[in-house]
Chain A
Amino acid sequence: DQQVKQNSPSLSVQEGRISILNCDYTNSMFDYFLWYKKYPAEGPTFLISISSIKDKNEDGRFTVFLNKSAKHLSLHIVPSQPGDSAVYFCAAHPPTSGSRLTFGEGTQLTVNP
C-alpha cells in the first residue's frame, strides 16, 4: 500500500535556511492532508494541514503547498531551526467523517547549527 509516499528518508539543512519536505499521493479520494512532526519516543504532533480546495496554507514558519493535478504536496520550513530536527510525516484522508489517516514513510529532518 503506497497511497502516500515520501521519497526522501532524510534531509539535512543549515540553520536559517529553508527546509522543503515532499510528499506524493495516489488516491484521488484524499481531500485533506496533514503534516505531523515526531520526536523519538513521542507520538506524532500535528503541525499543519491543508484542504484540497486550497493550494497553500501558512502558519508562521510553516507553509504547506498542494498541487492536486500532480498529487503532490510539500512542507516548507523557513527559517529552519535546530529544534525542527525530527521525523516529519505526511498523512491524508478522504472526506468520510472520522476516517483513518494514511501515512507516508516519514522524512528525518536534521537542521545543523
Chain B
Amino acid sequence: EPEVTQTPSHQVTQMGQEVILRCVPISNHLYFYWYRQILGQKVEFLVSFYNNEISEKSEIFDDQFSVERPDGSNFTLKIRSTKLEDSAMYFCATCPQATHNEQFFGPGTRLTVL
C-alpha cells in the first residue's frame, strides 16, 4: 500500500540554525500539508500546498517557515532560524483530490532544537 515517507526521522539542531524536513507524498496525490505536534499538545495545522503554491497557512506559519516542491517529488518544510519552541514532531500529510477528504500522514520527523 502506498505511504507517505518523511526524512529524517529525528533531527537535532542548534537554536538559530536552518533545518529542512523532507516528505515524499503518495504518488498522484494533489494536496500536501504540514502539521506539528508539540509534546503533550494537539496536532496543529501549519500549511497546505496545492498546485505548487500555498493554499492556506496558520498563524504559526510565519516568515521563518517556507515550503516548496523543488523536484515534483519531494515536499519540503524549511525553518530558517530555529527556536527552542520549534521542537516538535512534524508530520507531512497528503490527500488525493478535493473530493477525497481523508489525509494520509507520514511517520513524522522529531525536531529537537537545543
Contacts and interface: CB of A to CB of B under 8 A. Distances in A.
A87 B40 CA distance: 12
Given A32-B101, A49-B101, A43 B106 contact: yes
Interface string B40-60: 011111001010000110100
Given A100-B48, A103-B42, A46 B98 contact: no
Q: Is the interface of B mostly helix, strand, loop or mixed?
A: strand
A97 interface: yes
Residue among B43, B103, B108 with max Cβ neighbours from chain A (10 Å): B43
Interface residues of B, number: 28
Interface residues of A, number: 23
Contacts, number: 60
A10 to B, nearest CB: 13
Given A42-B107, A43-B107, A99-B56, A93 B42 contact: no
Interface of B: 4, 6, 30-31, 33, 35, 41-45, 48, 50, 55-56, 58, 91, 93, 95, 98, 101-108
Given A43-B107, A100-B33, A105-B41, 4 more contacts: A36-B105, A43-B108, A89-B43, A100-B45
Interface of A: 32, 34, 36, 41-46, 49, 89, 91, 93, 97-106
